[in-house]
């Protein structure tokens, strides 16, 4: 079964068309990486799946059900974390549980367990302004995972972190996602990262009129090591192929130099 | 502490200068005499009636202004046509010195409480309109998305996002509004009244009584400072999430190099990617 199914999606803001006839499938339990030139409508696509944006035409289904509002089975991590600044880390994590009708004290306890799972149990009573960037990402992750989503959407969630912190946070995230058996659709700019973490990489065309250019199956199995992967000739071939696709798309937009 | 010291030093210098007749004590009465006048006022029976009148006018002006300005602000933030009509009007009212309308209000509403309340209302209403209107428009749309994707309904969005972000704007608006409510009351009484602190001020001025004038000014300043203390206490309570209100220097390392590896240390079993 497909966890996410997008058919002939068209999104227009007024007269301005952003996505033009995009179709996409994310099989249950897989990691799908979404790459494409900047401004190609990747974020718009995620917003449609998350139920934050109503498409002009086309259908979006999550676990078989058409999306009309934010589906409870979907969690989303944005590029910029958006924790409520007036809530402590623990209260932020408890938020989704409270919305689902869990009693307050129970939600707080569950939230604390999740904070401990991301290594921030000691910071439960801190406000976001008292946390570092990496810590806020972890709180946001705990906040989303506490709601037990089946599908996780991520819009370059780690882009604002520096390289080392990013690798560590990503690693922890993958562990958690594997434990929770999540289906993940994520947007990234980093092709190596996309190949390292995904089962399938989808290349989107340059906007406007975004659509799917090509889909690559990643044949390396789930447990990977970047160093070993780099030595694999298939890895280099895939990287090359995706890179060529992207180069063509960017060139089509007429600013090749910016690539 | 430093500020208190400077203030005390200034008062002592003033006291000495007046006593030594470097300053004309009729124009610049020594602080101790002003204090004595103020104590005398407190002990006299008729004085409290004047204070009550001014407080009542200020309170009514504040309450009606906050309520109306707040509701208009909400209306303008929600309905674009309302904003189109209201914003230029409010901007104009904000630009002009609104107290010039005081004489007109006396003609319209008489020399009683009503004309002072009207002036205070007008002063406060404009301030609160902008506080609420801006406050709602400045709400971070990412937070709205966050609450909605976590399963929050409209009421949750209101309670979790709009009200808390508005609280900061409301409080800073209220601080200005309290001062304006008193301006409305006192200036209104100044123009025409038979009661109130402004009336007493106008009386003191017409009899060249600098001591009484200073004593009354001191009284108004005291009341406002008390109200400011109250709103600061509210800020500390409502806005304790803001960095400037944090209880103590936070124990957060500026860069957190040790925390990323914490989950493994805390027993979350890493999945091997070999």
Q: Using one digit for the tens of pLDDT, what is the confidence trace for A33-90? A: 998 887 778 888 899 999 998 999 889 999 888 888 888 889 998 887 789 999 999 9
Tell me how close the Cα of B235 comes to any Cα of chain A, in angstroms.
12
**Predicted pLDDT of residue A223:** 63
- Alpha carbon distance A194, A106 (integer Å): 37
Phi, psi angle pair for B231, to nearest 5°:
-70, -30
Of B147, B161, B263, the CB nearest to A117: B263
The CA radius of gyration of chain B, in Å to the nearest whole number, is: 26
What is the per-residue pLDDT for B64? 96
Q: Work out the angle between the directed axes of helices B45-78 and B80-95 (0-180°, nearest 10).
A: 140
Mean pLDDT value across chain A: 84
Residue B272's pLDDT is what? 34
- Does the pLDDT of residue B250 top 60, yes or no? no
One-character DSSP codes across chain A: -EEEEEEEEEEEETTEEEEEEEEEEEETT-EEEEE-STTSSHHHHHHHHTTSS--SEEEEEETTEEPSS--TTEEEE-SS----TTS-HHHHHHHHHHHTT--HHHHHHHHHHHHHHTT-GGGTT--GGGS-HHHHHHHHHHHHHHT--SEEEEESTTTTS-HHHHHHHHHHHHHHHHHTT-EEEEE-S-HHHHHHH-SEEEEEPPSSSB-EEEEEE-TT-S---HHHHHH-HHHHHHHHHHHHHHHHHHHHHT-GGG-
A41 and A207 Cβ atoms separated by less than 8 Å: yes
**pLDDT category, B193, cuts 50, 70, 90?**
confident
B273: three-class secondary structure by DSSP:
coil
Pairing of strands A151-155, A183-187: parallel
Percent pLDDT > 70 in chain A is 94
Residue B268 has pLDDT above 60, yes or no: no
The 10 Å CB-count burial string (b at 16+, else e) for B124-138 is bbbbbbbbbbebbee
Chosen from B143, B147, B148, B149 to mutate, greatest number of chain A CBs within 10 A: B149
The answer to whether the beta carbons of residues A206 and A212 sit under 8 Å apart is no
Residue entry with tokens 């409010």 = B90
Q: What ipTM did this prediction achieve? A: 0.84
Query: How buried is residue A64: exposed, middle or buried, by Cβ count under 10 Å (0-12/13-18/19+)?
Result: exposed
pLDDT at B260: 35
Beta-bridge partner residues of A202: A34, A215
Mutate: best of A50, A86, A113, A128, partner B, most B CBs <10 A: A86
Distance from CA of B2 to the nearest CA of A (A): 30
d(C-alpha B37, C-alpha B15), whole Å: 15
Contacts of B274 in chain A (CB under 8 A): 223, 225
Q: Is pLDDT at B252 greater than 70 in this prediction? A: no
Which residues of chain A are within 8 Å of residue B163 when distances are taken between CB atoms? none
CA distance A257 to chain B (A): 32
Distances (CA, A) of B27 to A25, A112, B14, B201, B219: 86, 67, 12, 15, 19
User: Is A95 within 8 Å of B147 when comparing Cβ atoms?
Assistant: yes
Q: Is B168 helix (H, G, I), strand (E, B) or coil?
A: helix
CATH fold of B22-39+50-242: MetI-like fold (1.10.3720)
**Which of B129, B216, B133, B142 is CA-nearest to residue B177?**
B129
User: How far B238 CA lies from chain A's nearest CA (Å)?
Assistant: 9
pLDDT tens per residue, range B102-140: 999 999 999 889 999 999 999 999 999 999 999 898 899
The count of C-alpha atoms lying within 13 angstroms of the C-alpha of B198, restricted to the half-sphere facing its C-beta, is 24
pLDDT in tens, A198-219: 888 998 887 667 788 888 888 8
Identify the pLDDT of residue B269.
Answer: 36
Closest residue on chain A to B273 (Cα): A223
pLDDT above 80 (res A259): no
- Sheet with A200-204: strands ordered across: A74-77, A151-155, A183-187, A31-35, A200-204, A212-217
Question: Are B160 and A95 inside 8 Å of each other by CB?
Answer: yes
- Please give the average per-residue pLDDT across B84-98, as a whole number: 91
For residue A103, pLDDT over 70 is answered with yes
Q: Is A32 on the interface with B (CB under 8 A)?
A: no
Domain spans of chain B, in order of start: 22-39+50-242
Task: Tell if the CB–CB gap between A132 and B254 is shorter than 8 Å.
Answer: yes
Backbone φ and ψ for B49, nearest 5 degrees, come out as -60, -40
Cis amide bond preceding A71, omega within 30: no
- In tens, the pLDDT along A116-132 reads 988 888 999 999 989 88
pLDDT of A153 reads 92
Q: CA of B174 to nearest chain A CA: how many angstroms apart?
A: 20
The confidence score (pLDDT) of residue A230 equals 77
Which pLDDT does position B114 carry in this prediction?
Answer: 92
**What is the pLDDT, as a whole number, of residue B17?**
86
Partner-chain contact A172 B263, CB within 8 Å: yes
Lowest mean pLDDT, pick from A95-109, B49-63, B248-262: B248-262
Residue B264 pLDDT: 35
Residue B235's pLDDT band (cuts 50, 70, 90):
confident
**Which range among A163-172, B3-12, B122-131, B210-219 shows the weakest confidence by mean pLDDT?**
A163-172
Percent of chain B with pLDDT over 70: 89
Query: What is the rounded distance in angstroms from the CA atom of residue B200 to the CA atom of residue B213?
Result: 8
Task: Report the residue from B143, B256, B268 with minimal CB separation from A134.
Answer: B256
Nearest alpha-carbon partner for B135 in B87, B167, B158: B167
- Residue B100 DSSP symbol: G
**Of B163, B253, B260, which to mutate for an interface test with A (greatest number of A Cβ within 10 Å)?**
B260
- A225-257 pLDDT per residue, tens: 767 777 888 888 888 888 888 888 878 776 544
Whether A191 shows a pLDDT value over 70: the answer reads yes
Does the predicted TM-score (pTM) go above 0.80? no
Q: Is pLDDT larger for residue B29 or for residue A93? A: A93
Residue B213, CA distances (Å) to B12, B34, B116, B192, B227 in order:
20, 9, 20, 17, 22
Q: What percent of chain B has pLDDT over 90?
A: 33
Chain B closest CA to A217's CA: distance in Å?
A: 19
Q: Band the pLDDT of B90: cuts 50, 70, 90.
A: very high
Using a CB-CB distance cutoff of 8 angstroms, which residues of chain A are in contact with residue B266?
116-117, 119, 121
Secondary element (H or E) of residue B211: helix B210-238
Contact, B184 vs B58, CB < 8 A? Answer: yes
Domains plus CATH for chain A?
A: 2-73+149-258 (3.40.50.300)
Residue range A154-181, pLDDT digits in tens = 888 777 777 777 777 777 777 777 788 8
Q: Does residue B255 carry a pLDDT above 60? A: no
Determine phi and psi for A219, rounding to 5 degrees.
-90, 20
pLDDT score of B7 more than 60: yes
């Amino acid at each position: 079964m497909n966890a996410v199914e997008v058919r002939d999606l068209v999104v227009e803001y007024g007269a301005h068309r952003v996505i033009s006839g995009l179709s996409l499938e994310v099989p249950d339990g897989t990691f799908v990486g979404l790459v494409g030139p900047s401004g190609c409508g990747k974020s718009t696509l995620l917003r449609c799946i998350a139920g934050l944006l109503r498409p002009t035409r086309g259908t979006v289904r999550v676990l078989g059900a058409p999306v009309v509002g934010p589906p409870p089975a979907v969690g989303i991590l944005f590029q910029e974390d958006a924790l409520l600044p007036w809530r402590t880390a623990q209260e932020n994590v408890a938020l989704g549980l409270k919305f689902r009708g869990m009693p307050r004290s129970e939600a707080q306890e569950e939230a604390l367990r999740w904070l401990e799972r991301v290594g921030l149990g000691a910071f439960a009573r801190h406000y976001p302004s008292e946390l570092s960037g990496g810590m806020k990402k972890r709180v946001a992750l705990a906040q989303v995972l506490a709601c037990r989503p089946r599908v996780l959407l991520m819009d370059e969630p780690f882009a604002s972190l520096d390289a080392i912190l990013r690798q560590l946070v990503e690693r922890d995230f993958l562990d958690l996602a594997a434990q929770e058996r999540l289906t993940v659709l994520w947007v990234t700019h980093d092709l190596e990262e996309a190949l390292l973490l995904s089962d399938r990489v989808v290349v989107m065309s340059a906007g406007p009129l975004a659509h799917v250019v090509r889909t690559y199956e990643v044949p390396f199995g789930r447990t990977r090591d970047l160093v070993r992967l780099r030595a694999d000739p298939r890895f280099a071939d895939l990287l090359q192929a995706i890179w060529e696709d992207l180069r063509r798309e960017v060139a089509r937009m007429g600013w090749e130099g910016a690539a | 502490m430093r500020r208190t010291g400077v203030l005390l030093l200034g008062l002592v210098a003033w006291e000495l200068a007046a006593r030594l007749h470097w300053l004309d004590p009729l124009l610049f009465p020594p602080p101790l005499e002003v204090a004595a006048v103020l104590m005398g006022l407190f002990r006299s029976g008729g004085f409290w009636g004047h204070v009550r009148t001014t407080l009542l006018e200020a309170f009514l002006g504040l309450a009606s202004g906050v309520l109306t300005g707040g509701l208009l602000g909400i209306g303008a933030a929600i309905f674009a046509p309302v904003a189109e009509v209201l914003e230029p009007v409010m901007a104009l009212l904000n630009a002009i010195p609104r107290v010039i309308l005081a004489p007109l209000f006396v003609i319209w509403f008489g020399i009683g409480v009503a004309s002072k309340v009207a002036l205070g209302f007008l002063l406060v209403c404009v301030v609160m309109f902008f506080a609420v209107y801006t406050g709602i428009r400045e709400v971070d749309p990412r937070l709205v998305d966050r609450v909605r994707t976590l399963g929050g309904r409209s009421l949750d969005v209101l309670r979790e996002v709009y009200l808390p972000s508005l609280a900061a704007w409301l409080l800073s608006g209220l601080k200005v509004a309290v001062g304006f409510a008193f301006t409305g009351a006192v200036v209104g009484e100044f123009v025409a009244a038979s009661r109130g602190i402004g009336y007493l001020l106008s009386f003191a001025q017409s009899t060249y009584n600098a001591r009484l004038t200073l004593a009354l000014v001191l009284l108004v300043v005291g009341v406002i400072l008390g109200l400011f203390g109250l709103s600061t206490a509210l800020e500390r309570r409502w806005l304790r999430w803001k960095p400037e209100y944090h209880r103590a220097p936070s124990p957060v390392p500026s860069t957190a190099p040790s925390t990323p590896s914490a989950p493994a240390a805390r027993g979350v079993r890493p999945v091997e990617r070999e």
